Amino acid sequence: MADNDINSTLVENRQFPPSEEFVARARIKPADFEALHKHAEANYEGFWEYQARQNLDWHKPFSITLDDSRAPHYQWFTDGELNVSYNCIDRHLATQADKTAIIFEGEEGDTRHISYQQLHDEVCQFANGLKSRGIKNGDRVVIYMPMTPEAVIAMQACARIGAIHSVVFGGFSAESLRDRINDAGAVMLITADGGHRGGKIVELKTAADKALEKGTPSIENVIVLKRTGQDIAMQSGRDHWWHDIVAGQSSECEPEWVNATHPLFLLYTSGSTGKPKGIQHSSAGYLLNAVITNLWVFDLQDNDIFWCTADVGWITGHTYVAFGPLAAGSTIVMYEGAPVVPDAGRFWKIVEDHKITVFYTAPTAIRALMKFGDEYPNKYDLSSLRLLGTVGEPINPEAWMWYHTVIGKERCPIVDTWWQTETGAHMIAPIPGAVSTKPGSCTLPLPGIVADVVNEEGESITEANKGGYLVIKKPFPSMLQTVWGDEQRYIDTYFPKFGGKYYLAGDSARRDEDGYFWIMGRIDDVVNISGHRLGTMEIESALVAHERVVEAAVVSRPHDVKGEAIVAFVICNGERPVDEEVKKVVQELRDWVGEEIGAIAKPDEIRFADGLPKTRSGKIMRRLLRNIARGEEITQDISTLENEGVVKQLQGKE
């Protein structure tokens, strides 16, 4: 087994307990945290039964908590009935109809405040509009929209009438949109004339028309939101303006009471074959974890203003924008545009203007904003903030500390959250009033989540800091139900090892002496150097710890002697080195990694560019970096990149 262990040499000893002031008003205190864990350990199904009855409103109460008769196709609360939209909106109206549900800010500065009552009325009107176009329970509806309140209204309206929505991120190409429409068999597309992003108009309707022209035989109707006011083509009989669809519709729409396992949405995620996987989530189980993680991890209080910067085209935007916080009765912020328009202070200005209290964003955004220095955040009053969060990838300690000191002013706990599209909600994350944090660690599994690090045989690794496979050993309510239309792919992808007993996350991880989890990177991002298996995230963290480096991504390429060689793509703080300076900086960085981790981890090759190839959501396209490192032809679609020009830089063609 020693040959297969993943080595970990990244050391981080700093710890940050929550302040007494934070603990005093926290929703979950240390004693509560311990009690939750004890309940889950003593009676696993009873724990989830209690949480479901406490946190969701049921039209027909359930009597079956977990049905594992078709494992690994687990089903929760199978004989219960509810409606997700009712749980997110209607149940709050008796006590907080006038409370603001959504604060919206457009990139150009336009703002809107929508109360829970107004949200209810607009969702009902749009739901009735959908029904007027023939949409019914079980129909699939694709949503391809800018980050405006109408995107959430469309999602909630689908949930209200039992339609299954599938949001496609507005940065995806026409071809990607067509593939998702066809895989889902969608009968309706909801889009907009365009959206504002990076000072430009994203032409969504134009891209949608291209997708439809390429062949989407199931689509019968297209609804178009007028957002930018630019001229677009409208096909008679098929295309309908949003404002026409809702005109004259009643602001009452009786919720469709659906079975707990009824599919709420499909969300497509990339697969190793290149064909996207339609991750299918249930109604009740998904919503349960969405609600409790908003309450536990974000400690949401009645007066909080919560801003998750994610687009609704991703799972984060589903769970921590469109559903979870609303089900918890909170106020959310939505921002349409880019974080650097008109300058790198935009995020911090929004925090000041709207008095954000809980802020949740991606490490890639934090590092990008770090590059501009402390000047921008220091211009703004960030004193309203009380809790910070990170999502999407492991955060390197240096970025964590900048976030802690410059943004949080050393008083805001940071919740570093590990979870996936497939898990639907946080799995491993600090509950901020009960758990001390460590820069770079997602800390401990949440109550009711049985996570472990195991070796090739599926045995728990008890030795501290020895890496292995991250697994979840027991089913949990928000886990994906299946891959849409491909049950075998579900089994092959998520239960391929250990006799199908454990959910395989696809990440490598280690636990330190305190039992804290540290994510080391994707299993396929582990590099094998002369028999030593190293997590790429640790090498990236070492590089970013150097004062010259803002961001780094590490992949491997084949090596005749060592098996694999390490290739690092690096973004420098300031000007990109050129000509003679390149050799000097490469040597400096290689020596630095050698000191930080060890000679075995020194990159064999370092390439510099002005940016990394990222989608417009900030996700690094690592498969593309592997193609570049190996000198392979790039065949994948790069139209979704924020900046296609960096590909030529990284290839050395510019």
What does the pLDDT look like over 407-422, one tens digit per residue? 999 999 999 999 999 9
Locate all alpha helices (DSSP H) within 312-407, ordered by sequence: 315-317, 324-327, 346-354, 363-370, 375-378, 397-402
What does the pLDDT look like over 118-154, one tens digit per residue? 999 999 999 999 999 999 999 999 999 999 999 999 9
Over the chain, what is the mean pLDDT? 92
More confidently predicted of 156 and 365: 156
Q: Is the pLDDT at 106 greater than 60, yes or no?
A: yes
- Residue closest to 356 by CA, chosen among 331, 339, 337: 331
Cβ partners under 8 Å of residue 475, min gap 6 = 66, 68, 71, 72, 74, 76, 503
Burial class of residue 63 in the structure, from the number of CB atoms within 10 Å of its CB (0-12 exposed, 13-18 middle, 19+ buried): exposed
What does the pLDDT look like over 433-447, one tens digit per residue? 999 999 999 999 999
Q: Which amino acid is at 106?
A: G
User: pLDDT-derived band of residue 172, with 50, 70 and 90 as boundaries?
Assistant: confident
User: pLDDT-derived band of residue 270, with 50, 70 and 90 as boundaries?
Assistant: low
Q: Which of 334-348, 354-368, 516-530, 621-635 has the lowest mean pLDDT?
A: 516-530
More confidently predicted of 276 and 26: 26
pTM of the model: 0.87
pLDDT of the residue at 637: 67
Q: Is the pLDDT at 616 greater than 80, yes or no?
A: no
Backbone angles phi, psi at 401, to 5 degrees: -70, -35
Determine what percent of the chain is predicted with pLDDT higher than 90.
78
What does the pLDDT look like over 449-502, one tens digit per residue? 999 999 999 999 999 999 999 999 999 999 999 999 999 999 999 999 999 999
What does the pLDDT look like over 542-573, one tens digit per residue? 899 899 999 999 998 988 777 788 999 999 98
Q: Which helix H or strand E contains 295, and what residues bound it?
A: helix 284-296
Q: Which helix H or strand E contains 195, and what residues bound it?
A: strand 195-197
Assign 3-class secondary structure to 118-148: HHHHHHHHHHHHHHHCCCCCCCEEEECCCCC
Backbone angles phi, psi at 578, to 5 degrees: -135, 160
- Residue closest to 415 by CA, chosen among 22, 44, 12: 22
Q: Give me the mean pLDDT over the 340-361 stretch.
A: 97
Q: Specify the DSSP class assigned to residue 276.
A: P
Q: Which amino acid is at 236?
A: S
Determine what percent of the chain is predicted with pLDDT higher than 70.
96
pLDDT of the residue at 1: 30
Q: Is the pLDDT at 273 greater than 60, yes or no?
A: no
What does the pLDDT look like over 217-245, one tens digit per residue? 999 999 999 999 999 999 999 999 999 99
User: pLDDT-derived band of residue 272, with 50, 70 and 90 as boundaries?
Assistant: very low
* Max CA distance (Å), the chain: 72
- Structural domains of the chain in order of their starting residue, each with its CATH number: 518-651 (3.30.300.30)
Q: Is the pLDDT at 27 greater than 90, yes or no?
A: yes
- d(CA 124, CA 251) in angstroms, rounded, equals 5
